[in-house]
Amino acid sequence: MTQDYSDVLVVGAGVVGCAIAREVSRYALRVCVLDQAGDVAEGTTKANSAIIHAGYDAAPGSAKARFNVLGNALFEDWCRELDVPFIRNTSLVAAFDDSDLATLHALKTRGEGNGVPGLQVLTQDEVRALEPNISRAVIGALFAPSGGICCPYGLTFRLAEHAAANGVVFHFERRVVDVTRARDGLWQVTTADGGVFRTRAVVNAAGVYADELNNRVSTQKFSITARRGEYLMIDKQYAGTFRATIFQVPTPLGKGVLVAPTVDDTLIVGPTAEDIGDKSDTRTTADGLRKVVESATRVWEQLPMSGVIATFSGLRAHGDRDDFVVGEAPDAPLFFNAAAMESPGLTAAPAVAVWLAERIGEKLGAQRSSSMTPCPAFPKPFREMTDAERVAAITADPSYGRIVCRCENVTEAEIRAAVRSRIGARTLDGVKRRTRAGMGRCQGGFCTPRIITILCEELGLTPEQVTKFGGDSRILVTCGTRHAETDSDAACQMSSVERQEVSHD
């Protein structure tokens, strides 16, 4: 069906794939990105803790340790360049007993070995001075000044925009089903819809599915388990309760349940850690949510259940090698893995991308482009503007004065811009993650109809075609009322009385 040629083909449009695509776009190479979903950031990237880790957890000498510390150091510059929020809010690992305290000292030593700056073990008083709302059960903590928070999908949208501005082509709803080496030496990537993409180099950033891709081309097999984590999101009414990210002393399954502020002033609480057979199973469970609450209340005794605005779960790609798999597969030249990128995968993404792009550029004998188009400027969110900026924005475009999402103060101008951008929103969730419209305390209760209308206007859709996140996730059914009149939908069985009632409004 499709025949498409590129120098570098990235499988996966999560934060890792988009970061690599952006970095590779610095070279004179034809780059494309394939993803099975209808948008970027639809897998692990959209549902994780959003923490930029300091780097004391990873085993010394591991890829995790190396890329974590390097990636952490890159985050400030990356986020500044892309104009996305990043806050070095610091982190604490809370200890509850003497054995935990001993673990803190071990973590500190390990962290120092990994090159993590400024680690200190704090006493209870010192912890309380930093975090007055922390439980008194916390008797000490490891303090890491380089810990931070970001918006993983916000970062990914901007990476994709920047990559696209530099010629990277994105193909959505393209699930890769096969990768083979053609007779002419090129890789041939086949998608579920029958597409064939020919490329010199493949980058495997397929998240929880990366093992399947690697194992098709390499005898150096690995396996990835989807490790599910459930979360609660707490309303920004509680902003400021904690400044730092507060971990608990880690367990063998991961870093445990954390409590952290987000860059959007909400608080995130979670995750659980549960290995799941089905790599697409992002359900939440009564048990999981209960565990999150039980564990989080060790740190945040007054965790306000009435302040919960959303629950969700995400899957991390846990590899059986217990480390990232980054680099060219030894027996499959020009097949590059960025796989098993569980925590601290987000933190490491910039460093992995820079490192891999250099390897790929070198292997393909490509020159760095003399000029890189800067990341296109995005309209500043209304909620972050000063009064003077607001006045100027509304003067230039009155739709900046029309608030669509009242909880997050998102304007019509921002929503239209999010749809019109290179990698634009096509769905309600796409708008939500790009603008925060529908992400606040009412969860779209008021703004959904308005956003449906804007999506229809911008994309030429009927309301019944608008989806939450693509596929069959339609918001409405075609047995419409007004629309049925023009569509003469036979399925619609509305009485004439009801029609009058509708037109009455």
Partner 1 sequence: MTEIDVLIIGGGPAGLAAAIAAHEAGCRKVLLLEREPALGGILRQCIHAGFGMHVFKEDLTGPEYAHRFVQRFHALGLSAQCNTMVLSVTPDREVTTVSPTFGLQRFRAKAVVLAMGCRERTRGALRVPGWRPAGIYPAGLAQRFMNLDGWMPGRRVVILGSGDIGLIMARRMTLEGAQVLACVELMPFSSGLTRNVVQCLDDYDIPLLLSHTVIDIHGRERLEAVTIAQVDDQRRPLPGTERRLACDTLLLSVGLIPENELSRAAGVGISAITCGPLVDESLQTSVPGIFACGNVLHVHDLVDHVTVESEEAGRQAARYAQEGQQARGSDIRVRDGAGVRGLVPQTVCAARVTDGVPLMFRPSAVFKDAAAVVRIDGEEVLRKRSRIMTPGEMVRLVVPKDTLERYVGAAELTVEVES
Q: Active-site positions?
A: 53
442 CB burial (10 A radius; 0-12, 13-18, 19+): middle
Any residues with CB less than 8 A from the CB of 414 and at least 6 apart, and which?
A: 379, 381, 382, 400, 435, 437
Q: How far is the CB of 209 from partner 1 (least distance, A)?
A: 16
Which residue in the set 309, 364, 372, 461 belongs to the binding site for partner 1 (CB under 8 A)? 309
The amino acid at 339 = A
406 counts as binding partner 1 under rule CB under 8 A: yes
457 counts as binding partner 1 under rule CB under 8 A: no
Q: Which is nearer to partner 1, 188 or 237 (CB)?
A: 237
The DSSP letter of residue 177 is E
363 CB burial (10 A radius; 0-12, 13-18, 19+): middle
- The dihedral of CA 114, 120, 121, 124: what is its sign? negative
Strands 140-144 and 91-95 turn out to be antiparallel
Q: How far is the CB of 86 from partner 1 (least distance, A)?
A: 26
Q: Which is nearer to partner 1, 236 or 298 (CB)?
A: 236
The DSSP letter of residue 27 is B
Ramachandran category for residue 181: left, alpha or beta (phi over 0 → left; psi -120 to 50 → alpha): beta
Token pair for 207: 């998240």
Q: How far is the CB of 261 from partner 1 (least distance, A)?
A: 18
Could you tell me how many residues of this chain bind partner 1 (CB under 8 A)? 71
Q: Using the CB atoms, write b or e for 460-484: b if 16+ within 10 Å.
A: eeebbebbbbbeeeebeeeebeeeb
477-496 mask for partner 1 (x: CB under 8 A)? xxxxxxxx-------xxxx-
List, in sequence order, every residue forming a beta bridge with 467; answer none if it has no partner. Answer: 474
Q: Which stretch binds partner 1 (CB under 8 A): 60-68, 254-262, 303-311, 362-370?
A: 303-311
Q: Which is nearer to partner 1, 155 or 232 (CB)?
A: 232
The Cα 185–Cα 176 span in angstroms is 19
Q: How far is the CB of 133 from partner 1 (least distance, A)?
A: 18
Q: Which is nearer to partner 1, 379 or 463 (CB)?
A: 463
Got the DSSP string for 325-388?
Answer: EEEE-TTSTTEEEEE---TTHHHHHHHHHHHHHHHHHHHTTPPBPS--PPPPP-PPPGGG--HH
The Cα 448–Cα 163 span in angstroms is 30
Q: How far is the CB of 297 from partner 1 (least distance, A)?
A: 15
Q: Using the CB atoms, write b or e for 315-325: b if 16+ within 10 Å.
A: bbbbbeeebbb
Q: How far is the CB of 338 from partner 1 (least distance, A)?
A: 27
Q: Write out the binding residues for partner 1, residues 409-438 only, by CB under 8 A.
A: 409, 412
**Could you tell me if 393 and 402 are in contact, meaning their C-beta atoms sit under 8 angstroms apart?**
no
Q: Which is nearer to partner 1, 133 or 311 (CB)?
A: 311
Q: Write out the binding residues for partner 1, residues 61-90 only, by CB under 8 A.
A: none
Which residue in the set 167, 250, 327, 463 belongs to the binding site for partner 1 (CB under 8 A)? 463
286 counts as binding partner 1 under rule CB under 8 A: yes
Q: Write out the binding residues for partner 1, residues 158-177 only, by CB under 8 A.
A: none
Q: Which is nearer to partner 1, 61 or 398 (CB)?
A: 398
Q: Which is nearer to partner 1, 347 or 411 (CB)?
A: 411
**Could you tell me if 73 and 344 are in contact, meaning their C-beta atoms sit under 8 angstroms apart?**
no
Which residue in the set 3, 219, 306, 371 belongs to the binding site for partner 1 (CB under 8 A)? 306
Q: Which stretch binds partner 1 (CB under 8 A): 178-186, 309-317, 340-348, 367-375?
A: 309-317
**Could you tell me if 314 and 44 are in contact, meaning their C-beta atoms sit under 8 angstroms apart?**
yes
Q: How far is the CB of 47 from partner 1 (least distance, A)?
A: 10
Q: Which stretch binds partner 1 (CB under 8 A): 2-10, 25-33, 107-115, 439-447?
A: 439-447
Q: Write out the binding residues for partner 1, residues 256-285 only, by CB under 8 A.
A: 280, 282-285
Q: How far is the CB of 303 from partner 1 (least distance, A)?
A: 12
Ramachandran category for residue 125: left, alpha or beta (phi over 0 → left; psi -120 to 50 → alpha): alpha
Which residue in the set 11, 82, 149, 289 belongs to the binding site for partner 1 (CB under 8 A)? 289
Q: How far is the CB of 415 from partner 1 (least distance, A)?
A: 14
227-256 mask for partner 1 (x: CB under 8 A)? -----xx---x-------------------
Q: Write out the binding residues for partner 1, residues 345-404 only, by CB under 8 A.
A: 382, 387, 390-391, 394-395, 398-403
Q: Which is nearer to partner 1, 57 or 464 (CB)?
A: 464
**Could you tell me if 282 and 313 are in contact, meaning their C-beta atoms sit under 8 angstroms apart?**
yes
Any residues with CB less than 8 A from the CB of 87 and at least 6 apart, and which?
A: 148, 149, 150, 261, 263
Q: Write out the binding residues for partner 1, residues 109-168 only, by CB under 8 A.
A: none
Which residue in the set 127, 159, 357, 475 belongs to the binding site for partner 1 (CB under 8 A)? 475
Q: Which is nearer to partner 1, 120 or 395 (CB)?
A: 395
At 148 the three-state DSSP class reads strand
Strands 258-261 and 120-123 turn out to be unpaired
